[in-house]
Amino acid sequence: MVELVPENVSEKDLREEVNKRTSRAGYTTRYGECPYATKIQTSVAFGKAKLNLWPRDKKGKLID
């Protein structure tokens, strides 16, 4: 199905309509943003996940 957009439609109205339709389809939010959080996550084979911290002394300098 092809829909034609009238020439007198403003850019703002067109953007709102696109956001409504993609939101209904589950692709974006009503504001055109991705609905899923995009965090970088790593999996750990076993045990608890730990931050990758470098050992430091009391003054905050790296320990070799």
Over the stretch 10-45, which tens digit does the pLDDT of each residue have?
988 888 888 888 877 777 777 777 766 655 556 656
Token duo for residue 62: 């790296």
For residues 34 and 26, is the Cβ–Cβ distance under 8 A?
Answer: no
Q: The whole model's pTM is what? A: 0.43
Between 37 and 56, whose confidence is greater? Answer: 56
For residues 15 and 25, is the Cβ–Cβ distance under 8 A?
Answer: no
Q: What is the structure's pLDDT at 42? A: 61
Token duo for residue 52: 């990758």
